[in-house]
Amino acid sequence: MDGPRGGGLGPVGLVLTGCVSVQFGAALAVTLMPRAGALGVVTIRLVAAAVVLLLLCRPKVRGYTRADWGTVLAFGATMAAMNGLFYQAVDRIPLGPAVTLEVLGPLALSVIASRRAVNALWAALALGGVFLLGGAGGFGGLDLVGAAFAVAAGSMWGAYIVFSARTGRRFPQADGLALAMAFGAVLSLPFGIAESGAKLLDPTTLALGAGVAILSSVLPYTLELLALRRMPAPTFAILMSLEPAIAATAGFLILHQSLAATDALAIALVVAASMGAVRTQVGGAPRVE
């Protein structure tokens, strides 16, 4: 690190600001769903984020192989699916539990990627958290469909990490992200139109949706990119593990979603499991949620 600006507090602050931005953006998205529906909000967010990233990055479209395009298209499809599934989840269950269940995807990827026996402990902690979150394993306190959507979004988050890394190796700077976001927006557009139709063109809805795009995509990605230039990837991944707790805070402050003591303990167990798992490997990747 060089000088005070490269100190540890700087990049940590960038990551935590990005995490807060993502989760408060998700809370804003929930408030927008009665106006445009879950799929409508996803569409507005992806389209707005794609427009901003394409204008900022101005990616070139020539000189890439079929394999390059296959990777970036898979990345875009994964982002569209991850966002669509996650917004279906938060339309049915509180934000904190939704992110807690979603984080099981990257957690499972961390456990599988590392062959250390200690990962059995992290897996057990995570399962204990899920057991508590579901009301002694029966998910009596959560909408079962919403919980299933959150878990499915988590599997897409795990796939996102893989395709994000591959795209980063094949495309310079954020060009791959901009192209993938554009493809994801195109994929989501028919679903958003089918669910919301002309509601997508309402000026207030568009303005709020643009705010969601900035908070949940453009701003956090930029902050994460800056942070990763100044801190080790494992440290970044550990900080990202705090997202379920941040999501629960955003849900409480913005959406007035309170948590029972067992729910708070469940989130703490999953956060601890995620932190422990990422400490046993050297990977980590930013994501668009």
149-162: per-residue pLDDT in tens? Answer: 999 998 888 888 78
Residue 5 lies in a domain: no
Mean pLDDT of 129-152: 74
pLDDT at residue 106 is higher than 90: no
Number of domains into which the chain is organized: 1
Position with higher pLDDT, 243 vs 161: 243
Residue 1 lies in a domain: no
CB of 205 closer than 8 Å to CB of 47: no
pLDDT for the residue numbered 105: 75
Rounded to an integer, what distance in angstroms lies between the CA atom of residue 224 and that of residue 261?
32
**Residue of 235, 227, 226 lying closest to 282 (CA atoms):** 235
Residue 174 lies in a domain: yes
48-84: per-residue pLDDT in tens? Answer: 999 999 998 899 988 899 999 999 999 999 999 999 9
Residue 288 lies in a domain: no
Residue 6 lies in a domain: no
Number of Cβ within 10 Å of residue 256's Cβ equals 7
pLDDT for the residue numbered 109: 67
Residue 286 lies in a domain: no
One-letter amino acid identity for 65? T
Residues 6+ apart with CB under 8 A from 104: 126, 130, 151, 154, 270
pLDDT at residue 253 is higher than 80: yes
173-184: per-residue pLDDT in tens? Answer: 888 889 999 999
pLDDT for the residue numbered 177: 87
- pTM summary value: 0.81
Rounded to an integer, what distance in angstroms lies between the CA atom of residue 177 and that of residue 171?
9
pLDDT for the residue numbered 220: 85
Domain that includes residue 187, residue range:
12-278
Number of Cβ within 10 Å of residue 275's Cβ equals 18
Residue 97 lies in a domain: yes
Residue 37 lies in a domain: yes
pLDDT at residue 224 is higher than 90: no
pLDDT at residue 194 is higher than 70: yes
Position with higher pLDDT, 237 vs 254: 254
CB of 141 closer than 8 Å to CB of 134: yes
- Long-range contacts (CB closer than 8 Å, 24 or more residues apart) made by 251-259: 251/27, 251/94, 251/95, 251/96, 252/96, 253/27, 254/24, 254/27, 254/28, 254/30, 254/31, 255/27, 255/30, 255/31, 255/94, 255/95, 257/94, 257/95, 257/96, 259/94, 259/96
The tokens describing 47, both together, are: 């389209």
